[in-house]
């Protein structure tokens, strides 16, 4: 076991109460209603939806609140009929077995929780589905199942006997709010934009967002947008290169648009990558200008989407798709520039900008101007003065370090 102090934040901040579970309010209501009053209508419930949106968390929180004892099995356990009978049958045959064992435990009964039921596959689990079906039929206690993909054919028999509760991706603003709360409790100073990027990158997966937050904020308890730049898109089933290849080789706008809608690459990175690669795709200046015109429109849609208006995403895809089809006949395969030039450039120049910003903050404080104004109307002149005379009196007056003086003297003109 890990030491208390090194707890994963996903565990440390796993909600203990139903109301603390973030998002998916409809699913929560449906599930709780079943657990409280409607267990007689269906014997089992199947919670399904993407990973990390709170299915297991909700079950555990609900069990705690209603004082159920959870008997858990998950995909890592063997699912053969024998194993299921060994664990599940005793659990379901008596209404409350555990309640005698512990005087303080006010458990009102057991619930059987079968996590990741879509993990049932192959020879090892032979008969697994049928065994679960039998258990559901015979069960005296609630049976709760969780799955990521409810469309796997062999789960169909389960769907007939279960109440289906659908979980969706948790909305980005909710994830941001949760991350902000954790930052507060963990004393992490985080830029809003950084949290925004983590949340967007998670695609509604709260668990991955919290994990990213913990790994990126590291030991110095701070998190800037820059720190998140190297964040890789999660759950990528196809790489950005592969998506670019498909994007540029598809022959119609409609195909490209639907390809984009089904891909899971990070939209922002992908837009940047498309823009980076347009000059390699179109060598004719008029075609290039048109392609960028569409990229520009796509970016405007991205701006309007912000973190709220995700229903506008289709227009973003459509505008972006148009940039791929300016002149379909001229397409020849080419090697892509990835990752985005912007991200690489900003990464390698971070130190330079920091030094310059520090110098400008010193100037700004003494001369009552903003950092930006200092850059524009002071730095060009300070640079010339220091080039003439390295120990110019302004050096001591601005309290510039030798490193900063050196930086100013050797920096180029903008």
Of 367, 366, 267, the closest CA to residue 310 belongs to 267
Find how far residue 34's CA is from the centre of its chain: 30
Rounded least distance, CB 100 to another protein, Å: 55
From candidates 174, 385, 401, 406, binder to another protein by CB under 8 A: 385
Contact status: 307 vs another protein (CB under 8 A): no
**Largest interatomic CA distance in the chain:** 92
Q: How near is the Cβ of 356 to another protein at its closest, in Å?
A: 7
Find the part of the chain contacting another protein (CB under 8 A) among 152-160, 201-209, 211-219, 373-381.
373-381
Smaller CB separation from another protein, 16 or 389: 389
- Is residue 100 involved in binding another protein (CB under 8 A)? no
Distance CA 117, CA 124 (A): 14
291 binds another protein (CB under 8 A): yes
Q: At 38, is the secondary structure helix, strand, or coil?
A: coil
CA atoms within 13 A on the CB side of 13: 21
Report d(CA 289, CA 315) in Å as an integer: 20
From candidates 46, 188, 206, 271, binder to another protein by CB under 8 A: 271
CB of 123 to another protein, least distance (A): 50
* Smallest distance, another protein to C-beta of residue 271, A: 7
Q: Does 181 bind another protein (CB under 8 A)?
A: no
Which residue stretch of 132-140, 146-154, 160-168, 298-306 sits at the interface with another protein (rule: CB under 8 A)? 298-306
- Residue in 218, 367, 390, 403 binding another protein, rule: CB under 8 A: 367
Q: For the chain, how many helices (H) and strands (E)?
A: 20, 7
Distance between first and last Cα of the chain: 55
| Contacts with 172 (C-beta within 8 Å, 6 or more apart), sequence order | 196, 199, 200, 204, 307, 310
- Round to whole Å and give the CA distance between 39 and 62: 14
Q: Which parts of this chain interact with another protein (CB under 8 A)?
A: 191-192, 268, 271-272, 275, 278-279, 285-286, 288-289, 291-293, 295-296, 298-300, 302-306, 341-342, 345-346, 348-349, 352-353, 356-357, 361, 363-364, 366-373, 375-378, 380-381, 383-385, 388-389, 392-394, 396-397, 411-414
């Amino acid at each position: 076991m890990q030491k208390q102090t090194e707890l994963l934040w996903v565990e440390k901040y796993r909600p203990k109460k139903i109301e603390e579970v973030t998002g998916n309010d409809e699913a929560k209501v449906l599930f709780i209603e079943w657990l409280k009053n409607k267990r007689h209508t269906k014997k089992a419930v199947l919670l399904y939806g993407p990973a990390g949106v709170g299915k297991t968390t909700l079950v555990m929180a609900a069990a705690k609140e209603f004082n159920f004892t959870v008997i858990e099995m998950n995909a890592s356990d063997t699912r053969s009929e024998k194993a299921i009978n060994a664990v599940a049958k005793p659990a379901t045959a008596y209404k409350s077995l555990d309640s005698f064992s512990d005087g303080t435990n006010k458990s009102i009964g057991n619930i059987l929780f079968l996590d990741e039921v879509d993990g049932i596959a192959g020879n090892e689990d032979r008969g697994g589905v049928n065994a679960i079906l039998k258990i559901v039929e015979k069960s005296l206690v609630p049976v709760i199942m969780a799955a990521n993909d409810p469309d796997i054919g062999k789960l169909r028999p389960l769907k007939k006997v279960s109440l289906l509760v659908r979980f969706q991706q948790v909305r980005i603003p909710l994830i941001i709010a949760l991350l902000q709360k954790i930052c507060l409790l963990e004393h992490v100073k985080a830029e809003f934009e950084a949290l925004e990027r983590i949340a967007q990158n998670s695609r509604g997966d709260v668990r991955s967002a919290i994990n990213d937050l913990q790994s990126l904020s590291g030991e110095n308890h701070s998190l800037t947008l820059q720190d998140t730049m190297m964040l890789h898109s999660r759950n990528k089933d196809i790489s950005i290169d592969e998506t670019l290849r498909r994007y540029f080789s598809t022959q119609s706008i409609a195909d490209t648009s639907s390809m984009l809608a089904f891909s899971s690459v990070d939209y922002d990175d992908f837009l940047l990558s498309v823009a980076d690669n347009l000059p390699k795709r179109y060598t004719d200046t008029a075609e290039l200008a048109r392609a960028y015109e569409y990229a520009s429109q796509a970016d405007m849609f991205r701006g309007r989407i912000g973190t709220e208006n995700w229903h506008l995403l289709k227009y973003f895809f459509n505008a972006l798709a148009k940039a791929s089809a300016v002149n379909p006949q001229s397409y020849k395969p080419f090697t892509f520039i990835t990752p985005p030039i912007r991200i690489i450039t900003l990464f390698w120049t971070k130190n330079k900008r920091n030094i310059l910003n520090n110098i400008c903050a010193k100037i700004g404080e003494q001369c009552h101007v903003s950092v930006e104004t200092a850059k524009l109307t002071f730095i060009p002149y300070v640079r010339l003065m220091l080039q003439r005379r390295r120990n110019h009196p302004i050096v001591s007056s601005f309290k510039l370090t030798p490193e900063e003086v050196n930086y100013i003297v050797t920096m180029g003109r903008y």
